[in-house]
Structure 1
Amino acid sequence: MDSYDRDADAVADADRGAGHHGGGGADQGAGGCADRGDGHPGGASGAPVASGAVGPDGRSDQPPPIPSPSSPCTGPSGRPTRPAPPDAPPFDPPPPDPPSAEPPSDPRSGIAALSFPYQIVAALTLAVVALAACVHIAMVFLHVAPSNTLTKQHGQVVDDWIYPEFEQNWKLFAPNPLQQNVAVQARAEVRSADGSTLTTGWYDLSARDGSAIDGNLLPSHTDQNELRRAWDFFVASHDNENRPNGMRGQLSERYIRRIVVQRVQDERPGGQGAFVERIQVRSSTTNVPPPKWSKEKVDTRPVYRQLPWWSVSDGDRSVAGSAAADKGAAADKGIRADNGTRARDDARTEAGSR
């Protein structure tokens, strides 16, 4: 047994000596391991390094050394392997692509998407609109605010801005919303061409204005406000006995009288050559009925406020006649323009047919 151990140590020493002192042949490994052709330990010629006892068949009676499983010169099956060359560089994966220095910007929108000249135009337009809105809000505030230093000094400027398009009627709001329908009606005494006198029936002037507004996308301020404002002016400047309160009362009376004369003359009562001698005006006030789900009881019968007869002067008739003439001239002008357009179209059609 001791002899076997000594022989094994001799073989191992011979292998180590071959790794350190063997010639630098092509099969010599960098780690001291060499490929020995047939897989047995030995030199390049396959001769055993250490001698032992040899049997009659020429084989050594010593068993070959058992390679260590953890030896770097043997593979999983115990066979010697060629180690990696020492000069082989380690494998490094390629570095990832560096991120972009500037992330893609979002597409511009709004004013920023416009060119520089258009941005200037858009900015100026927005500034003008904002300034006009601020001025309008300030004017409306001064119009509805109580009397103050600004309204006393610049009241006419505020009124010129507000009337008639931006008038604020607060009767719609608390504390007492208007829940009545007020209609202005009139009748007249007309002197006909043969000298006879005719008293007309009541004309509902408010209903005529309403019919002109209904279905009209752009109704005139005359149809909407003239008669209503004239009646409100009269009521505010007269007492319950229809007596005027100073100069404004007389002015309001003359104003509504001329409006009524013009409206009655448009109806042409009495025929050709007739003229209005006197007129009488009244208001018909009717409460708005409550909704069906309400238990409130309201009297919906009309209440009349009837004014005395007013004599119509020549000045009243001339003003009313000039106003009617202006309206008729405008209507005739429109008709003539329409007829002229049709005539030109007919002439062009005829020339084209030729």
Structure 2
Amino acid sequence: MMGATRHPAQWSPVSVAALAVTALTLIGALLVHLAFVFLSVAPANAVSVHHHEGIDAYVQPEFGQDWKLFAPNPMQRNDAVGVRVSTLGEDGRPHVSDWVNLTAEDVEVIRGNIAPSHVDQNMLRRAWDSYVATHSLEGDLPKGVRGALTGDYLKRVVLQRVGRTWEGDRIVSVQVAGRYTLVDPPAWSSEEPPDTTDYRMLPWWPVNQQDHRGL
């Protein structure tokens, strides 16, 4: 009879063996994943120190663990991340856009929203913070494998916001910058309010079709 299902007792040895191999493969992959994540958050030991580059390459940034979820530190400064793009017009002449405050766009989406998304609240900020933590201030050189990953991640987050074109012209490069201003102390505090703003401007990054893959 068409459509009839076979009782497990009627399964062939080949089918049972295939299911067993699949189950063992999935269990093995899960154990390897858990081992990598565990080593990334465990205190330094011989294994994690010797293989730290490989562990970081696997865990960051998709599987990064942040234990501050249950005891977050309040933000002590206001950060703003901006971008400007360089485009190539049909006449072959390059054009550079004005700076766009991407953080301000996120804030507008969050304001008045009783259930703002994690993307609007944290994606851009975490991408910028991860980049700053893994790149030298002098020359913006990446620190190990994680540095290269966070650079690519920040670039893709920004490209997801600006798209492939700008005012009808193809985007050929982007430049990202950050602005930091310390939060004023409360009125009852004796601390002096900060009067400085720090900036960090990254180099121009070329953009090609591969950078937009999957966006």
What TM-score results when the alignment is normalised by the length of structure 2?
0.64
2:116 matches 1:219? yes
Residue-by-residue CA offset, 1:190-213 (whole Å, 9 max, x unaligned): 112332321111111111111111
1:187 maps to 2:88: no
Q: CA deviation at 1:167?
A: 4.7
Match of 1:169 in 2: 68
How far the C-alpha of 1:222 sits from its partner, in A, is 1.4
1:311 aligns with 2:210: no
How many angstroms apart in 2 are the aligned matches of 1:287 and 1:205?
19
Provide structure 2 residue ranges, at least 5 long, that are not aligned to the other structure: 1-37, 49-54
Q: For the aligned residues, what is the CA RMSD? A: 3.0
Report the structure, 1 or 2, having the larger strand content: 2
**Secondary structure of 1:169 counterpart:** helix
Q: In structure 2, what is the Cα distance between the partners aligned to 1:148 and 1:247?
A: 18
- Following the alignment from structure 2 to structure 1, what is the Cα–Cα distance between the partners of residues 167 and 101? 18
With normalisation by structure 1, the TM-score equals 0.40
Mapped contact 1:189–1:279 kept (Cα < 8 A): yes
Q: Deviations over 1:50-93 (max 9, x none)?
A: xxxxxxxxxxxxxxxxxxxxxxxxxxxxxxxxxxxxxxxxxxxx
Cα pair distance change 1:312/1:225, threshold 3 Å: same
Aligned to 2:27: none
- CA distance in 1 between counterparts of 2:116 and 2:188 reads 34
**Which SS does the other structure have where 1:207 is aligned?**
helix
Q: For the residues of structure 2 that align with 1:276 and 1:255, how far apart are their CA atoms?
A: 18
Inter-partner Cα distance in structure 1 for 2:145 and 2:132 = 14
CA contact (8 A) 1:180 1:285 kept: yes
Residues in 1 aligned to 2:44 and 2:153: alpha-carbon distance in whole angstroms: 30
On the 8 A contact 1:198/1:270 being kept in 2, the answer is no
Q: Who is 2:153 aligned against?
A: 255
Count of matched residue pairs: 161
User: Which of 232, 246, 264 is the aligned partner of 2:144?
Assistant: 246
User: 1:57-76 counterparts in 2 under 5 A?
Assistant: none
Residue of 180, 183, 187 corresponding to 1:292: 187
Rg larger in structure: 1
What do the CA deviations read for 1:90-116 (whole angstroms, capped 9, x no partner)?
A: xxxxxxxxxxxxxxxxxxxxxxxxxxx
Q: Give the secondary-structure state (helix, strand or coil) at the position aligned to 2:163.
A: helix
Q: Aligned-pair distance for 1:172?
A: 4.5
* Shift of residue 306, structure 1, vs aligned partner: 0.9
Higher relative contact order (CA 8 A, sep 6+): 2
**Letter matched to residue 284 of structure 1:** R
Instruction: Find the counterpart in structure 2 of residue 207 from structure 1.
Output: 104
Q: Give secondary structure in 2 for the equivalent of 1:260.
A: helix
Q: Is contact 1:234-1:249 (8 Å) kept?
A: yes
> Residue 147 of structure 1 is aligned with which of 43, 56, 59?
43
State, as a whole percentage, how many aligned pairs show the same letter.
38
Instruction: Report the alpha carbon displacement of residue 262 of structure 1 after superposing the two structures with TM.
Output: 2.3
1:192–1:270 CA contact under 8 A, matched in 2: no
Distance apart, 1:256 and its partner CA: 0.8
Q: Which runs of 5+ in 1 are unaligned?
A: 1-141, 324-354
